[in-house]
Amino acid sequence: MVSSTSPGLVVFAWGNVSRGDDGIGPLLAEKLRALQLHELVVIEDFQLNIEHVMDFNGMTPLLFIDASVSIEKGIAVERIEASNDGNFSTHAISPQALLNVYQETTGDAPPEAFLLHVAASEFGLGESLGQTGAAALDDAWSFLSDLLEESPAEWQAVLTARAAPDRSAL
């Protein structure tokens, strides 16, 4: 559960470090936690679950971070909305479906949410980070470092400005 103090951003990072580039989310979560910023809540897991709606903190913006095959290199920021996209089970859920669960269970609109796509291509069990993933991990860390240099009050505006205008722009 998120603390009662109001953070400037709640970050969800997921993946599996035993599966090559799939470990990008956890690697970034580790770096973010090491900063020990009180305005930043970092939640890491192997996958998103419906229980993660309990980690939302009112209207604090959300940033989801995951290895992505939606882009070929680097990173892309996507603004996401609640969607009953059918992409969930009792064991895994998409960020959009998680926002929808929040909306349906609370009756409230979900917080502003963004998905940081980090390019990835190597997902085999026992593989290490591939070239694409390693380069994109560096790009993602550079972006996150720049974001966090801004005041917490500006984080949502920076994410909004960086977000692709629509999914087809990814």
Task: List 11's β-bridge partners, or say none.
Answer: 42, 63
Please report the pLDDT score of residue 92 as a whole number. Answer: 73
The tens digit of pLDDT for each residue in 24-74 reads 999 999 999 999 999 999 999 999 998 999 899 888 999 999 999 999 999
For residue 1, tell me if it sits in a domain: no
**Residue 100 predicted with pLDDT over 50:** yes
**Residue 1 predicted with pLDDT over 50:** no
For residue 49, tell me if it sits in a domain: yes
Mean pLDDT (whole number) for 68-81:
94
For residue 26, tell me if it sits in a domain: yes
DSSP characters over 9-72:
EEEEEE--TTSGGGGHHHHHHHHHHHT--TTEEEEEESS--GGGGGG--TT--EEEEEEESSSS
C-alpha dihedral, 128 to 91 to 43 to 107, nearest 10°: 150
Q: What is the residue range of 75's domain?
A: 9-169
- Tell me how long the chain is: 170
72, 87 Cβ separation under 8 angstroms: no
Please report the pLDDT score of residue 36 as a whole number. Answer: 95
For residue 4, tell me if it sits in a domain: no
For residue 91, tell me if it sits in a domain: yes
* Burial class of residue 31, CB neighbours in 10 A (0-12, 13-18, 19+): middle
Please report the pLDDT score of residue 170 as a whole number. Answer: 64
Of 64, 60, 72, 31, the closest CA to residue 47 belongs to 64
How far is Cα 76 from Cα 68, in angstroms, rounded to an integer? 9
For residue 109, tell me if it sits in a domain: yes
C-alpha dihedral, 77 to 32 to 95 to 15, nearest 10°: 110
* pLDDT tier at 89, thresholds 50, 70, 90: low
For residue 130, tell me if it sits in a domain: yes
Please report the pLDDT score of residue 5 as a whole number. Answer: 60
- Counted domains in the chain: 1
For residue 147, tell me if it sits in a domain: yes
The CATH number covering residue 26 comes to 3.40.50.1450
The tens digit of pLDDT for each residue in 114-141 reads 999 999 999 989 899 999 999 999 999 9
